């Protein structure tokens, strides 16, 4: 869903989101949900997304990949994870299928993600790849 926010550059974006793999998804599906910010088109954007099934996994490494920032096509999750492990992703307690409140605060080239009313951000990105002056649309998206 694309919001009519062509000039979104700085501010606060809040939403209630929920995600879980559907009944036909593979065993490796994570129930991805998130927000794409400063969307130029569906191929060039910045996004913060959550992997709800990772939040309570029995594997700590998988838990550490519960939240992620990406900026495709140049800064895919694979590239960011390989070049700067742990910088653009982190753990947060998520439960697949449960509605959670997310709040993203954008200021210049910085983004802070707050989950379920937490005062401290879960994820801090101080070098948004589109830069401090970027202004584009906002899109909500569910990925299986």
Task: Give 45-104 pLDDT, tens digit per residue.
Answer: 888 999 998 999 999 999 999 999 999 899 999 999 999 999 999 999 999 999 999 999
Between 117 and 27, residue with greater pLDDT: 117
Residue range 32-37: mean pLDDT, rounded: 82
DSSP for 26-85, please give it. Answer: -TT----EEEEEEEEETTEEEEEEE-GGGTT-S-HHHHTTSEEEEBTTTB-HHHHHHHST
The parent domain of residue 22 ranges over 2-142
* Domain count for the chain: 1
pLDDT over 90 at 40, yes or no: no
pTM check: above 0.75: yes
> What CATH code is carried by the domain that includes residue 28?
2.60.120.560
């Amino acid at each position: 869903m694309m919001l009519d926010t062509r000039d979104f550059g700085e501010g606060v974006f809040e939403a209630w989101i929920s995600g879980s793999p559907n009944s036909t998804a593979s065993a490796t599906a994570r129930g991805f949900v998130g927000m794409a910010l400063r969307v130029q088109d569906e191929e060039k954007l910045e996004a913060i997304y959550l992997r709800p099934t990772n939040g309570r996994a029995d594997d700590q490494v998988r838990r550490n990949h519960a939240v992620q920032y990406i900026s495709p096509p140049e800064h895919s999750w694979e590239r960011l994870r390989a070049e700067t492990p742990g910088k653009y992703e982190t753990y947060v307690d998520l439960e697949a299928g449960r509605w959670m409140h997310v709040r993203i605060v954008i200021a210049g080239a910085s983004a802070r993600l707050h989950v379920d009313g937490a005062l401290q951000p879960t994820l801090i990105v101080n070098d948004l790849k589109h830069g401090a002056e970027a202004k584009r649309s906002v899109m909500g998206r569910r990925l299986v």
